[in-house]
Amino acid sequence: MVEYLVFLTISASLYALFALGLNLQWGFTGLINFGHVAFMTVGAYITVLLALKGVPLIIGVMLGAIASSALGLLIGLTSLKLREDYLAIVTIGVSELIRLIVQNEQWLTKGTFGVQSYPLPFGKFQPNFFGKISMIFLLTLLTAFVLWQLWRNFRQQLGFNRQIQGKSFQPSSRLSIYLWGGIALTFILLVYINGSIALYNYSYKAGLMLLILIILALVYYGLDLLVHSPWGRVLKAIREDEEIPKALGKNIFWYKLQSFMLGGAIAGVAGAFYSWQLTTIYPSSFEPLLTFNAWIIVVLGGSGNNAGVILGAIIFWGYDSLTRFIFSNSDIINDSQVGALRVMIIGLILMILMIWRPQGILGKKQELSLGR
């Protein structure tokens, strides 16, 4: 049970990190990217291939993020002046191009044989008692940070912050906020208790869990500073109506390009962690479904809200594990039908959400850009 919850924590954190890059592109800037997995693929392969050449992991991750950002630059220079629907088509095409390259260029990526036996972070690390206690203390600080951020966002949604209160919520809306908040709080406490146990009985996965939680917290905090800066306000203005910042003398194309590149770099870092979680990567590991899972997380949690992305990842993986458990021993339907049914259920949930609360759980309705 402990090992499975560690896996669940790594997966939720990984997808949250991946979706934060997409949220920067779509939620804050309004750029439709249906090929987000391409950035993850580039980051993963460059990180592990450089590691096999003896390059330190931290440098490999940085170079993978730079390469993913360079891919964003290449796509952006050729496509960001296109209409939104054309940009979506281009990103899908680039994603498939990257997948075909890693699948067929065996001299570079080992093709369908996959890349195996590459160095892993904390692969041979064995902490003593003091080291284990230090890691548990660090996990405690991270948990306190997450609880503070979630509380701050839920308080804003409930109208306790007068500066952004706006219209008061209906009782049903308040009830839904409390419900999702309770789910998030339960998951966070489970992660903390289970993570503390896993770190005390240290294993590679436990170390990877702590590392990705640290990176996720740093990326989240950095993005939070950026989107509340003048740069972030320009991105929001571009999302709503790019003619207004253009009239104020802003270089719209440059801001879009920066957002696209930074979102790609974040996805590249997520790709490195994805490769470390799998410990062996194949071209089939980077399917288009990863992109649309990230879209589900962003839409569910609330586009344009980074805390909503974290909450969306928690709910998505909670749903995934719950439905796997419920349908695992079913005698009514087979495994392939179970997969289709799970996709249908989450599609139905999204349809209901788009009708009932189109801005997502933590999204702001006054900032909703869908349908404009």
How would residue 119 be classed by pLDDT, with cut points 50, 70 and 90? very high
Average pLDDT for the chain: 86
Task: Give the start-to-end residue ranges of the domains of the chain.
Answer: 2-367
Strands (E) across 50-112 are located at none
pLDDT digits (tens, 9 = 90+) for 217-257: 999 999 999 999 999 999 999 988 888 899 989 999 999 99
pLDDT on residue 356: 73
Over residues 73-81, the mean pLDDT reads 91
The contacts of residue 318 (CB under 8 Å, 6+ apart) are 183, 187
Cα separation, 14 vs 16, whole angstroms: 5
Q: Is the pLDDT of residue 338 over 80?
A: no
Residues 6+ apart with CB under 8 A from 222: none
Distances (CA, A) of 319 to 131, 265, 274, 303: 34, 28, 20, 20
What residues have CB less than 8 Å from 350, skipping those under 6 apart? 296, 299, 300
Predicted confidence at residue 163, as pLDDT, reads 45
Report d(CA 239, CA 9) in Å as an integer.
32
Residue 72: name the closest of 139, 122, 25 by CA: 25
In percent, the amount of the chain with pLDDT more than 70 equals 88
User: pLDDT at residue 340 above 80?
Assistant: no
Residue 366 clears pLDDT 80, i.e. is over it: no
How much is the pTM? 0.89
Residue 274 has pLDDT above 70, yes or no: yes
SS3 115: strand
Predicted local confidence at residue 151, as pLDDT: 79
CATH domain 2-367 topology: ABC transporter involved in vitamin B12 uptake, BtuC (1.10.3470)
DSSP label at 160?
A: -
Q: How far apart are CA 215 and CA 265, in angstroms?
A: 13
| Residues 43 and 271 sit within 8 Å (Cβ to Cβ) | yes
Report the C-alpha gap between 221 and 228 in whole angstroms.
11
Q: Quick one: average pLDDT of 35-58?
A: 95
**Mean per-residue pLDDT, 55-79:** 95
Identify residue 298 by its one-letter amino acid code: V
Residue pointed to by tokens 């093709």: 111
Using the predicted structure, report yes or no on whether residue 57 has a pLDDT greater than 90: yes
Q: Taking the CA of residue 328 as centre, how many other CA atoms within 13 Å lie in the half-sphere pointing to its CB?
A: 7
Q: Considering only residues 313 and 146, tell me which one the structure prediction assigns the higher pLDDT.
A: 313
91's CB contacts (< 8 A; 6+ apart) are: 32, 33, 34, 35, 36, 38, 75, 79
Q: Is the pLDDT of residue 330 over 90?
A: no
pLDDT tens across 150-187, in order?
A: 777 777 766 644 444 444 445 545 666 677 677 778 88
With 0-12 CB in 10 A as exposed, 13-18 as middle and 19+ as buried, what is 368?
Answer: middle
Range with lowest mean pLDDT among 3-7, 54-58, 65-69, 251-255: 3-7
And the tokens for 286? Answer: 């980077």
Contact 41, 291 (CB under 8 A): no
Nearest partner of 218 among 9, 16, 12, judged by Cα: 16
